[in-house]
Chains A and B, each alone.
Chain A
Amino acid sequence: MLRTILAIIAVAVGVSAVVAQTDPIATRKALMKKNNEHDRNLRQMVRGEAPLDATKVNEAFAQWGDTARQLPNLFPDNSKTGQDTRALPKIWETRSDFEAKIAAFGKAVADNKDKAKTLDELKVAYADVNKACDNCHESYRRPSQRQPAAPKQ
């Protein structure tokens, strides 16, 4: 199981490295979308709406760790606008603080990935990682300018 996960990560990193060179905005958006999906899985476990699933927990932490590693390279100077990016110009104005926040996210993920075996442990680990996500989003991400889809009841 572990080898499969490692193999998947290796391929994903390889593929991402190629895509990242050509379209950093699309790559980082895709990473964030995946982050959100994993976040939703763990959120449901923490709230008792879904059973604790070690595979999903490991997948989440693996993908988040991958994100932390890739992010610093996904904000080159030519990726400030386009494709409705939510990256704020501030990223390039206070670049070292931005990268420090990515590093803090990476650390939160690394520190907690082996400490989420029981539900109680997961609650602590999940809160820790979420805090790091929020810290960066608060300073460097602008509100979404989404166009609404069809109404839902």
Chain B
Amino acid sequence: MRRAMLALLGLAVLGAGGFWIVTTPSRVSADSLPAYTPDLANGKAMFHAGGCNSCHAIPDEDDRTKLGGGMELKSPYGSFYAPNISPDPRDGIGSWSEADFVTAMWKGTSPDGRHYYPAFPYTSYQYMKLEDVRDLFAYLKTLPPVQAKARDHAMRFPYNMRRLVGGWKLLNLDEKPFTPDPTQLAEWNRGAYLVNAPGHCAECHSPRNGLGAIIKSQRFAGGPNPDGEGWIPNITQAGIADYSVGDIEEVLTSGATPEDSVGGSMVAVVRNTSQLSKEDRAAMAIYIKSLPPIEGPKPPPEAK
């Protein structure tokens, strides 16, 4: 009996040790980054494609380039508070190196080696090209520094244990770069990249499982609004078969749909997508129109 207990204890220690090892946050080293001159115009496009200010701008602040953080993002696991990503050296990312920023975007790891919660959608940003991430970093550094430390997240137990996110990442980050489809035209591939990488559209427009990961087989098929009330629409052809490419482009340009207009968080998205080039929006629309029909979960019947 005693030997069995000791064996179990030994296994538990090995298991915890193993878990600790496999959940070590991974980093991108500065040595791996070749010399590079950033393109600020592209950085600005990535800023709008990525929608950074939708979460990181100070709430209710008119100037959406003040990325002082503080916005609350409610979730089934607790409340997240978006951090300050302005170039302030003390309260923001002003003292970050390029490698720190690439590590955050690709690996979801902080400069001091902690896991970020996937409320920060690095599950999509991991597919961004290195040049685009570096351009974005350079552009962010041109924005006004904001002195404001956002409050810590308020996560329920056990979600407040950051190390557990390491396990989640093993299941959900595939460490593969974005690969264009050689059978598709360049415009389609551009749209596929913008939607899946910086655009991170699937992060809202997909249903999630009990561990908060996107259900891959129902990607883009809509689901409960992850950060509030209501139901996020299915944007596969099972949801928007009656929208033409032009209709989808119009949504991204002005928020107007053939029936009326978008609401909720999509308004903030359109504030950004409206700043992209017409070609980029057209590419995104072409890609979205091509999504094969996938039935998503059904919204609950409306309360009467």
Using a CB–CB cutoff of 8 Å, the interface residues on chain A facing chain B are 32-33, 35-36, 39-40, 43, 81-82, 84, 86, 88-90, 130, 133-134, 137-138, 140-146, 148-153
Pairwise interchain contact A81-B266, C-beta atoms closer than 8 A: no
Known: A134-B267, A142-B263. 17 other contacts (CB 8 A): A33-B259, A36-B256, A82-B304, A133-B261, A134-B271, A137-B267, A140-B263, A141-B264, A142-B230, A143-B230, A143-B232, A144-B259, A144-B262, A145-B302, A146-B259, A148-B242, A151-B237
Pairwise interchain contact B239-A148, C-beta atoms closer than 8 A: yes
Pairwise interchain contact A143-B261, C-beta atoms closer than 8 A: no
B174 at the interface (CB under 8 A from A): no
In the complex, what residue of chain A is closest to B303 when comparing beta carbons?
Answer: A81
Q: Report A-chain residues with C-beta under 8 Å of the C-beta of B254.
A: 43, 130
Report B86-128 CB contacts with A as 1/0, cut-off 8 Å: 0000000000000000000000000000000000000000000
Pairwise interchain contact A143-B266, C-beta atoms closer than 8 A: yes
Pairwise interchain contact B229-A142, C-beta atoms closer than 8 A: yes
Pairwise interchain contact B259-A81, C-beta atoms closer than 8 A: no
Pairwise interchain contact A84-B302, C-beta atoms closer than 8 A: yes
- Size of interface on B: residues with Cβ below 8 Å to A: 35
Pick the contact of A138 from B237, B243, B260, B268 — CB < 8 Å?
B268
Pairwise interchain contact B260-A33, C-beta atoms closer than 8 A: yes
Cα distance A65–B253 in the bound complex, in angstroms: 25
Q: Report B-chain residues with C-beta under 8 Å of the C-beta of A142.
A: 225, 229-231, 263-264
Pairwise interchain contact B242-A36, C-beta atoms closer than 8 A: no
Q: Closest Cβ of chain B: how far from A62's Cβ, in Å?
A: 19
Given contacts A145-B231, A150-B241, A152-B243, contact A86 B299 (CB under 8 A): no
Q: Report B-chain residues with C-beta under 8 Å of the C-beta of A90.
A: 229
B173 at the interface (CB under 8 A from A): no
Q: Report B-chain residues with C-beta under 8 Å of the C-beta of A36.
A: 256, 259-261
Cα distance A145–B300 in the bound complex, in angstroms: 10
Cα distance A134–B230 in the bound complex, in angstroms: 18
A-B contact pairs, 11 of them (CB 8 A): A35-B260, A130-B254, A141-B263, A143-B225, A143-B266, A144-B259, A144-B262, A149-B242, A150-B242, A152-B241, A152-B242
Cα distance A144–B303 in the bound complex, in angstroms: 15
Q: Report B-chain residues with C-beta under 8 Å of the C-beta of A88.
A: 229-230, 264
Q: Which of A40, A134, A143, A148 has the most CB of B within 10 A?
A: A143
Pairwise interchain contact A144-B256, C-beta atoms closer than 8 A: no
